Amino acid sequence: MLKQVTTASSPQQVWERLSHNEPMFILDVRNRDEFERWRVEGPHPVPALNIPYFELLDLEGEQEDVVEAVIRGVRAQLMPQLPSDRLILAVCAEGNTSNYVAEGLRRLGFDAVNMEGGMEAWGNFYYWRPVDGSAHFSLYQVVRPARGCVSHVLVSDGHAAVFDPARHIEIYRELAADVGARIEKVLDTHLHADHLSGGPQLSQRGNVPYHLHPYDAIHPIDMLPARIRYRPLEEGKTFRIGSAEVTTLHFPGHTLGMVAFLIEGHYLLSGDSLFLESIARPDLGGKAEAWTPLLYDSLKRMLQLPDDTVVLPAHFSDIAAGDANDVFRATLGELKRSNPGLLKLAEGERAFCDYILANLPEFPAAYVEIKRANAGLVSPDESKAQELELGKNICAVGKAHGVSGDKAALPDTHIASAT
């Protein structure tokens, strides 16, 4: 009987392979700037080679078979650099051109598959994991690995709350259904700039309230009030999801209305105030000088929580920062010892503010528009939403594009470099 040849891998299958550290090689045929911006990566280093499709292919005429041209291009340019001992994943923007590349590689005898749906599908892939829990509640982390976005779902006695949902709201509805809970509250830690919130849509879909701090219901650059229905979050107020108690803590700095949620006095959904590898950038409202001292005061207050508080941030910049279960978490005590932003905090306000203002990453133009969309001031369609959400988040100070990869194993100049 003929062996079935696998020709494509879904984002889920690619993630499982990456997560289990199964040998793989990535051949990415997008343009170099697109590859530098983001690429398929997992918790373990994966060798990758970037050669733009138009450089690989030299079609001899309009009638030439594209796969034949791929074979010719690979023979002429890539043979010594392609491994024969592992799967090669061909990647492009939408998974169409890379399909020809994978086919050409297979005809040359390589074990190659196409990344189904390309980077577009990879960017919209999510997984979820249980974080922890107790007899009366469970906490889940929903991760969008390509963009470094993290949401959380608290479940207790059949009730669920979703914190910082991304725009693909089905994942939260599926999770709730899987664990037999009903979503009764949707909350954002702040008005996000890097991704489109699923909060308002998820709340409408389930006819449940959406919560935001009122200071974030004003677009900070346009100075226009949001056009969304929300219930105001307030410092120190406590609410219950089932039998689990949640306290809202106001930590302005990244935004004026930035909050964190303390669950059962032990799990801190820190939003974009404190990350595992860095701290929030305070410049996305266009007022870095004024907001940096607020961030200083907020982090000082946050550090008064017990050292064993489990910090669960809304983003990561390094995908390798997850634990063995791909969960992004650390205790406050651990972060006090390792987080560069918190270490700088100990040097006093002046040193902290100088450090922040000297380490602000680029300000993506799309972030102003994403905040408009999240405030309900504009309504991007699907293709505009895809365009706005291209690339990894740049929400942290210092580490703009955490690209990891096994560079030492790869001699080619087109290989990803860490920035």
Please tell me the distance from the alpha carbon of residue 230 to that of residue 301, in angstroms, as a whole number. Answer: 27
List the structure tokens of 292. 């940096």
Bridge partners of residue 211, in order along the sequence: 187, 231
Q: How far apart are alpha carbons 332 and 306 in whole angstroms?
A: 7
Of the residues 92, 149, 353, 395, which is catalytic? 92
**Among residues 30 and 372, whose Cβ is nearest to Fe ion?**
372
Q: Which residue, 192 or 344, is less far from Fe ion as judged by CB?
A: 192
In the complex with Fe ion, the residue whose CB is nearer, 198 or 206, is 198
The nearest distance, CB 342 to Fe ion, in angstroms, is: 18
216 lines the binding site for Fe ion (CB under 5 A)? no
Q: Which residue, 18 or 196, has its beta carbon nearer to Fe ion?
A: 196
* 274 touches 207 (CB < 8 A): no
Q: What are phi and psi of 42, to 5 degrees?
A: -135, -170
Contact range with Fe ion by CB under 5 A, out of 53-61, 117-125, 162-170, 268-276: 268-276
Q: Are 167 and 194 in contact (CB under 8 A)?
A: no
CB of 354 to Fe ion, least distance (A): 22
Q: Is 217 exposed, middle or buried (0-12, 13-18, 19+ CB in 10 A)?
A: middle
> Which C-beta is closer to Fe ion: that of 116 or that of 272?
272
DSSP H helices, 187-287, are: 199-206
- Asked if 321 and 328 touch (Cβ cutoff 8 Å), the reply is yes
* Residue given tokens 């995908």 in the structure block: 319
Is 87 or 311 the residue whose CB approaches Fe ion more closely? Answer: 311
* Contact window for Fe ion (CB under 5 A) among 144-152, 234-242, 245-253, 267-275: 267-275
Extract the tokens encoding 10: 């879904």
- Stretch binding Fe ion (CB under 5 A), from 190-198, 223-231, 295-303, 337-345: 190-198
- Closest distance of CB 386 from Fe ion, Å: 20
220 to 259: interface string for Fe ion, x by CB under 5 A: ----------------------------------------
- For this structure, is 353 an active site residue? no
User: Does the footprint of Fe ion cover residue 395 (CB under 5 A)?
Assistant: yes
Residue type, 126: Y
* Count of C-beta atoms within a 10 Å radius of residue 122: 24
Cβ proximity of 186 and 229 under 8 Å? no
Shortest distance, position 416 Cβ to Fe ion, whole Å:
25
**Shortest separation between residue 395's beta carbon and Fe ion, angstroms:** 5
Region of 17-25, 126-134, 240-248, 266-274 interacting with Fe ion (CB under 5 A):
266-274
In the list 103, 188, 272, 389, the residue contacting Fe ion (rule: CB under 5 A) is: 272
Q: Are 163 and 233 in contact (CB under 8 A)?
A: no
Active-site residue set: 92
Q: Which residue ranges make up the site for Fe ion (CB under 5 A)?
A: 192, 272, 395
